Amino acid sequence: MSDSAFSFLGRTLRRRSFLRVAGATVASSALVLAGCDSNDDTETPAPTTASLTFSNDNFGLLNYVYLLEQLEAAFYQKVVSSFPSDFTAADRAAFTDLRDHEVIHRETLKYALGSNAYDANAGTNGMVFDFSSFALTSRTGVYTAARTLEDVGVAAYNGVAKLLQVVTDGSHLTYLKLLVKLASVEARHAAFVRDQLQASSFADTDIVTAAGDLAGLDTVKTPVEVTALIAKYVPVTIVATSLPTT
């Protein structure tokens, strides 16, 4: 396989180097989670005294999406580290792929943000998410949790692209292309986990807008709506009110 490269805002990363970094992140996460009690499906949340405020610019929007990808990657890693006993071999393979996709999404956004990532100076002390509200000991519980997170993620992507601010260096167009690519994969994730729970539910009425200009399309949620939905999983207070709204 050739070691192709991709460029982002003037920075070039070799494909092999990127995958090595992403793979190392997966491996290190697995080692951390492997040390947890296999009977404990609750991650210990960090103290909730801290807050995370997103800035009123494109970096704020990218950090908002970056947090969502961190959340999803952590969820899939938790499942992969301790599969439910009724998971089939196909389920295990699918969730391993989903985990890998989300890790790549997370690391891509981290790379795109560079020093502007909200956790750029956090070292190895990453966010520890709380999934205790999910029932992760059964196949149905895991797929239900995945559906919840994927539906929120798709609605978030649907609402964030239009908020990008036009800037003179044209970087907003690069960000838009990135978000669209990530959104298309997230939509496929959502469709897959939904169909595993109930056949042909990938476009059910609970995720499709019923009326208005967007009738027949996936629902759209604002950053404020999304952060309210994920607040119980995040160990800090999220402040999204400063993000662009138009």
At 102-119, the pLDDT tens digits run 999 999 999 999 999 999
Q: What is the pLDDT of residue 200?
A: 62
111 compared with 10, residue with greater pLDDT: 111
Q: pLDDT (tens digit, 9 = 90+) per residue, 12-27?
A: 444 444 444 444 344 4
- pLDDT tens, 191-211? 899 899 877 665 655 556 566
Query: Is 108 inside any structural domain?
Result: yes
Which residues have C-beta within 8 Å of that of residue 234, sequence separation ≥ 6?
52, 67, 71, 127, 129, 130
Residue 186 confidence class, pLDDT cut points 50, 70, 90: very high
Q: Give the residue from 120, 142, 129, 143 showing the smallest Cα distance to 74.
A: 129
* Percent above pLDDT 70 for the chain: 71
**Is 27 inside any structural domain?**
yes
Q: Provide the domain limits for residue 109.
A: 5-239
Nearest CA among 117, 68, 109, 85 for reference residue 231: 68
From residue 235, alpha-carbon distances to 57, 65, 79, 122, 170 in Å are: 24, 17, 19, 15, 35
Mean pLDDT of 75-81: 97
What DSSP assignment string belongs to 5-56? EEEETTEEEEHHHHHHHHHHHHHHHHHHHHTS-TT-----PPPTT-EEE--S
Whether residue 163 is contained in a domain is answered as: yes
* pLDDT for 246: 81
Query: pTM for the whole thing?
Result: 0.78
Maximum distance among all Cα pairs of the chain, rounded to whole angstroms: 54
Structural domain total, the chain: 1
- Asked whether residue 245 is domain-assigned, the answer is no
Quick one: pLDDT at residue 216?
53
The mean of the pLDDT values for the chain is 80
CB 165 within 8 A of CB 58: yes
Q: Is residue 148 very low, low, confident or very high in pLDDT (cuts 50, 70, 90)?
A: very high
- The verdict on residue 246 lying in a domain is no
Domain assignment present for 160: yes
In a domain, 135, yes or no: yes
Residue 182 and residue 119: Cα distance in Å, rounded? 21
Does any domain span residue 70? Answer: yes
Q: What are phi and psi of 51, to 5 degrees?
A: -135, 155
